[in-house]
Chains A and B, each alone.
Chain A
Amino acid sequence: MNHSEAATIFNKNEKKVNWHDKALWFVRHKRDKSAHSVEGWEELRNLGQGIKAHTLSNLDNYLIQFEENALKNGVQVHWAQDGDEHNRIVHSILKEHNAKKVVKSKSMLTEECHLNPYLEADGIEIIDTDLGERIVQLAKETPSHIVLPAIHKTKEEVDELFQEHLGTKPCGGDPQYLTGEARKHLREKFVNADAAITGVNFAIADTGGFVVCTNEGNADMGAHLAPVHIACMGIEKIIPKQEHLGVFLRLLARSATGQHITTYSSHFKKPRKGTKMHIVIVDNGRTEQLSRPDFRASLQCIRCGACMNTCPIYRRSGGHSYDATIPGPIGSILSPGKDLTKHSSLPFASTLCGSCSDVCPVKIDIHTQLYKWRQIITKETKQPYVKVMSMKMMGDIFSKPTKFEKVGKVARWSLRNLPKGIINSKPNVWGKERDLPSGPVESFDEWYKNRK
């Protein structure tokens, strides 16, 4: 299913779409308020961009340095070339420790690698402990947003889900009550876990440590109680020095939710006494993206989700319509690099308004990259006949001024005089769900010539 077909399904429930649109726009507003309160915000973004771009240009050496320091800290380091190898490594660590019950905090990487089904197939219980992720896990769905995983669910849906799985009382979707019940449910899981898995927000080359950011405290509850902690990271999570966290922690939460910092920014370096810590470093297509000069900047992403919240298409089509682990504008430039045919409709799911690039804390030129993917996709994948022909016709019209003028005249007259049934007939996709404006009497050219 391509993006627009999937978006059509999401749009069947108009009330829900409107809520989704407004809720995310509100988050975007909070981001603005918070960012504008910071003196030198643009300089901060420049630094974020510069540090990440530098790191990518020396990534192999920083990874080597990181590994060396992590080993010194008593942490075991593993390398995985793809999702499958990542899953096998995590599985073997769990086996080694005879771990049957695992708690996991938010990690888009383990989603990308489909770790949960892999472990479940061997009878291992794996519980997502971020509330939003637990909700989608119980619903047997995937996150629809990287920061707000259950943004597509209504509180009534959560209410029903919890009644079914956690045995809660019907509460009309009371968030306070439902969160409290989830807390009890998850406490029990934390206390009994044999191992904890977390993601990594930043890995510091010169200390071998890493930082995990959460608001709920779930990563810490897992990692500090279980005897084994496995942290999974993509190769692009590296930053050179600890002082660079000063830049990224100032940018991340403000861009994500408008908070000035997440509730917990936990700095892990050594395992606590008597326990084990493992780090799995994963490629899974990232080195290939690094080879593409036009698209490598996408690896600077710090996963704040701001580009999603601001995107007029994302807000009205929902994260699931992208059919990829990372949805929205950034997902639309990452996914085609992995599978061009499967994700060929994503770079077209954009108005190219550029709002994503404006809010991105590490200044990724997202909309330019979307445009560049379009060029490649149009050349390399088969386009529908109607699109090819209409583009040809348009190209011809635009290249000949007299022809353009004639067609313009006809179009303006038609918009004024033809009945709606004809203007909005099937071939005109622009007439779907909206009325076209009435055509002006004169063209811009005519107006310009006639003006006094």
Chain B
Amino acid sequence: MNGIKTENKMSSRDAILSRIKTNKPDLLELPIINVDVFADSRNIVDEFVLKVEVSGGHVIKASTTDDIFNQINTMFPEGKVKYTTLENTAAFNTVDFDTFKSQKALENLDVLVLESDLGVAENGAIWIKDTTLPMRVLPFITKHLIIVINQTQLVPFMHQAYQKIATEDNDFGVFLAGPSKTADIEQSLVIGAQGALSLTLFLR
């Protein structure tokens, strides 16, 4: 294009940047986000539960960790490959972390239980970050995903969520809302596309 030599990477970089410099408009101001204009009177716990369900997830209110794991064991009885990253629950694991080094074992993972410290009421999104995740692919490749979160860790909007994670240094993180889904065949919603087939949320 335009007879520009493109072998040299530096030259493409500089050519693009200099064209931008010439072609951009005069500097416009960056608007400031005033979060107050978005405030509504909704109860954030109710709103969060509603939005998780809208996105295809199930919400179960729970009291203690023991209670949660008892319920999970009833939902997914013997014979399933289960793994959790929660503290003091190692007895729940049917495999240890080293098994995930093989692709096959990864693919066989049935149930993964994670903990989150941030949920967003307006859309039911839950923040899962690298530091609490032994492998990035786990919440996507598992068949069933279970997340435990405290009510006190919910915020109303995405703005507050980003305020909260601004101080963290995450190499990878995901806002996750519901199980994977698609409507690519004639707009019919199908739960369970390439990622997890189901999402259950335990709200403490």
Contacts and interface: CB of A to CB of B under 8 A. Distances in A.
Contacts, number: 260
Contact of B175 (A63, A190, A221, A249): A249
B96 interface: no
Contact of B158 (A148, A224, A246): A246
A180 B161 CA distance: 34
Given A23-B187, A221-B195, A272-B136, A287 B29 contact: no
Interface in A44-63: 44, 46-47, 50-51, 53-54, 56-60, 63
Contacts of A242: 162, 165-166
A259 B12 CA distance: 39
Nearest to A271: B171
A178 interface: yes
Contacts of A175: 185-186, 188, 190
Interface residues of B, number: 77
A224 B187 CA distance: 28
B122 interface: yes
A261 B175 contact: yes
A215 B40 contact: no
A79 B194 contact: no
Nearest to A260: B123
Contact of B24 (A46, A56, A176, A191): A56
B125 A265 contact: yes
Interface in B30-76: 30-31, 33-34, 37-40, 51, 54-55
Contact of B37 (A43, A50, A281, A293): A43
B109 to A, nearest CB: 12
A155 B18 CA distance: 49
B177 to A, nearest CB: 5
A51 B28 CA distance: 9
A243 interface: yes
A224 B137 contact: yes
A80 B190 CA distance: 38
Contacts of B13: 79
Contact of A261 (B19, B21, B177, B180): B177
A187 B107 contact: yes
Given A130-B184, A179-B185, A250-B157, A287 B193 contact: no
Give the secondary structure class of A's interface.
helix
Interface residues of A, number: 95
Contacts of A194: none
Interface string A146-170: 0011110111001000000000000
21 contacts: A50-B29, A50-B30, A58-B27, A81-B4, A82-B1, A84-B6, A85-B6, A150-B184, A155-B186, A179-B184, A179-B193, A183-B192, A190-B194, A246-B162, A257-B183, A263-B55, A263-B181, A267-B174, A272-B172, A287-B16, A288-B19
Interface of B: 1, 4, 6, 9, 12-13, 15-31, 33-34, 37-40, 51, 54-55, 103, 107, 120, 122-125, 135-137, 140-141, 157-159, 161-163, 165-166, 170-188, 190, 192-196
Question: Which 8 A-B pairs give the minimum distances between C-beta atoms?
Answer: A217-B195, A260-B123, A132-B184, A216-B193, A224-B137, A291-B23, A50-B31, A287-B19
Interface of A: 23, 26-27, 38-40, 43-44, 46-47, 50-51, 53-54, 56-60, 63-64, 73, 78-82, 84-85, 88, 129-132, 135, 148-151, 153-155, 158, 173, 175-176, 178-180, 183, 186-187, 190-191, 215-218, 220-221, 224-225, 235, 240, 242-247, 249-250, 253, 257, 259-270, 272, 281, 283, 287-288, 290-291, 293, 296
